[in-house]
Amino acid sequence: MAVADWLAALDRRAALRAKAGLTRRLHPRAAGDDVVDLAGNDYLGLATHPEVVAAAARALSAYGLGATGSRLVRGSTDAHHALEDALAGWLGTDRALVFSSGYLANVGAVRALVRPRTLLVSDAHNHASLIDGCRVSGAETVVTPHADVTAVAAALAAAPGRPAVVVTESVFSVDGDLAPLARLHATAREHGALLLVDDAHALGVTGPAGAGAVAAAGLAGEPDVVLTATLSKALGGAGGVVAGPAEFVRHLVETARTFIYDTALPPAVAAGVHAAVGLARTRDDLRADLSRRAALAVRRLRAAGLDVSTPDAAVVSVTAPGPEAATGWAAACRDRAVAVGCFRPPSTPDSRSRLRLTISAGVSQAEFERALEVIVECAP
């Protein structure tokens, strides 16, 4: 194919996406803008906390801008190892391993859990990183209806004697609902399967001392449970973590391509996240405030006649009439200095488009209530 034909084909595909209301655009933000942020994932407001910024600044001065190599070459620093020890202690696992992103952590974890003949049983609402992990692994994958433990049990029962892994989020990223983790674990254990839980939207927000939904379900440290999370949400930084049995973490270090062949997380980020972990463990007051605000958002938006999810953490989903309506709604809010998430197919696991509100303790109560008014007034 000639270059001109290739570029023309890309233009045609872009036109089709635009016609379907699926165009995506970048919206750069300035430092310190006055937008009320209900789109980012800084749940506890730690991204700009003075202790977090100071810890990152000290490491930046000590180590420089980047890690300068992969973790197995020169990229492992004292900052990385201190963070991993802190995460393992908080999560109640043998060990934790830090990756440069939550996406790479999920892809690496799924792939590392696969053996010959492994069956992966994946929830229909799982995040793209888990879906891609299943695809990259090459293992047979059965996608079960959302949060349907009976369907998971049936999929496992249909593959007796095969190694299997049940793959789920804890708090799902689209609608903010909580997976039935205790029941999923009991079902997986009954069939000799492992349970992989992406705790990204629960870590820091739920559970004892904010240790997440896995800990809240009483599954912390169970030998047949592997936990993943991103460090870019409630901890306000970047990177990802896989936590579980020491034997599995050793296996990751020695075999996970998304760990071995990737430049390490910058030490300054690792140090900042380490400080954030220490703060997050002590802030039950912020977690209680997030819960109150989520309940307030549901009441206000439902009172306005909007279709709103029932949140189990700090994610509130509002159904939009369609993709174009969702993008127009989000743009109208942005014009009034309120940032909201806009989810459309294929980012949603069904045909519905949504606004997604992520509640942050870094937003004042007055700003939060004004943002809710703007969302209602801009509704299509």
Q: Distance between CA atoms of 100 and 103, rounded to whole angstroms?
A: 9
Q: Which helix (H) or strand (E) holds 316?
A: strand 315-320
Kindly state the average pLDDT of the residues 219-225.
98
Per-residue pLDDT band for 356 (boundaries 50, 70, 90) equals very high
Which pLDDT band holds residue 344 (cuts at 50, 70, 90)? Answer: confident
More reliable by pLDDT, 121 or 20? 121
Domains of the chain plus CATH, in order, are 30-48+283-377 (3.90.1150.10), 66-280 (3.40.640.10)
Flag whether pLDDT at 144 surpasses 90.
yes
| Residue 25 pLDDT | 86
Q: Whose CA is closest to 330, among 368, 303, 357?
A: 357
- Which tokens hold the place of 279? 């703060």
Lowest mean pLDDT among 18-22, 66-70, 95-99, 253-257: 18-22
Catalytic center residues: 41, 127, 169, 173, 198, 201, 233
pLDDT at 26 > cutoff 90: no
Say what the pLDDT of residue 266 is: 98
Q: According to the model, what pLDDT value does residue 350 have?
A: 79
Average pLDDT for the chain? 96
pLDDT of 364 above 80: yes
**Predicted local confidence at residue 231, as pLDDT:** 98
Cis peptide before 267 (omega within 30 of 0): no
Question: Could you tell me the pTM of the whole model?
Answer: 0.94
Residue 30 has pLDDT above 90, yes or no: no
